[in-house]
Amino acid sequence: MSTALLLDQARILIIDDEPANLKLLDKMLASQGYQQRILIQDARDVLARYLEARPDLILLDINMPHLDGYQVMEQLRDLDDPLAPPIVVLTAQHGRDYLLKALSAGARDFIGKPFDRVELLMRVRNLLDAQLGHRMLYQQKEVLDEMVRLRTQELERTRLKIVQCLGRAAEYRDNETGNHIIRVSQVSALLAKKLGWSDAYSELMLHASPMHDLGKIGIPDHVLLKPGKFEPEERQIINTHTTIGAALLDDDDSALLRLSREIALSHHEKWDGSGYPNGLAGEAIPQSGRIVAVADVFDALTSSRPYKNPWTIDNAIAFVRDNAGSHFDPAVVACFLAHLPEILAINHQHPE
């Protein structure tokens, strides 16, 4: 579409309480091919018509009953429209203070009364040219912003897929099942939401918590896959999976990887400070780690492993309850107990 055609289709709002002035302005603009001319005699109608028409230029009288031009400009300014059109004040006043007041209120230009036809049409054309350029830049920015948003979404999906693949890799190295990872992630996200996390961060928890044991990738098979009890030196080796996982997930740019790293490093810390790797206690442990600790231990207790039979649900619940304030954050345990039906429903949906 040509620039001339776009200008001809520009929407021009003409506001004047004098019917003769409206008629004159309408005739002048029509003679130049401007097809969308909106005439308003009562200033109280301006706001509604503006929102309906979204004009590209406003010709505004100052001295009007009900609402003067300054009040109209104040109403329009309050809309905070990113594509606000230029306002040309129609005035018979030419005093400096008068004109400065109009400029301060939002006017872009002036046209004196009585109107000079050539001057008026040139000013209208120039301002519409500038507004058209502004509109095209704004629309181009919207297109670019949308392209960036879609590309960012694509990158996030790719990053999430990679993280999920890493989680699956950790499963294959251990005796844990894929359903264990699903249950822990869904219970962790549920607890996070119930503890006041936003929807967005609860969603991050859903995708980050499966990374809690990623560091087991770096644990030797003779330790990781040992069916019996660990010797003290073997326990020290297995405990390093927290720091290995944190190192693998070290990324300051991704909220998902930052949360995954935080969980991998802190989910074996204990409320009383007896956990590992850093012996953190109480609220010094990130809440994400405190949440996953409860979800992970409960699910591990109730799951079958080559080296143990599953605990009953009641015994596992009792263990979590009894270790509130020692192993687990009491607030997380209270939330866990308050929402047991939902947690057990997750278990039933994803059985061993």
What CATH number is given to the structural domain containing 21?
Answer: 3.40.50.2300
Confidence check: pLDDT of 228 > 90 = no
What CATH number is given to the structural domain containing 197?
Answer: 1.10.3210.10
Which of 128, 80, 137, 91 has its CA nearest to residue 113? 91
Q: How is 191-223 classified by DSSP, letter by letter? A: HHHHTT--HHHHHHHHHHGGGTTGGGGGS-HHH
Domain extent at residue 33? 3-145
Encode pLDDT of 7-25 as tens digits.
667 899 999 999 998 999 9
- Take residue 322 and report the two structure tokens written for it: 């009894």
Consecutive H or E run containing 109:
strand 109-112
Residue type, 51: L
Confidence check: pLDDT of 177 > 60 = no
The DSSP letter of residue 262 is H
State whether 114 and 55 are in the same domain: yes
Q: How far apart are CA 51 and CA 49, in angstroms?
A: 5
Q: How far apart are CA 185 and CA 210, in angstroms?
A: 6
Q: Is the peptide bond before 210 cis (omega within 30 degrees of 0)?
A: no
Report pTM.
0.59
State whether 219 and 341 are in the same domain: yes
**Is the residue at 190 inside a domain?**
yes
The structural domain count of the chain equals 2
**Is the residue at 161 inside a domain?**
no
State whether 213 and 340 are in the same domain: yes
- Take residue 98 and report the two structure tokens written for it: 């008068």
Q: Which of 126-130, 146-150, 266-270 has the lowest mean pLDDT?
A: 146-150
236 touches 295 (CB < 8 A): no
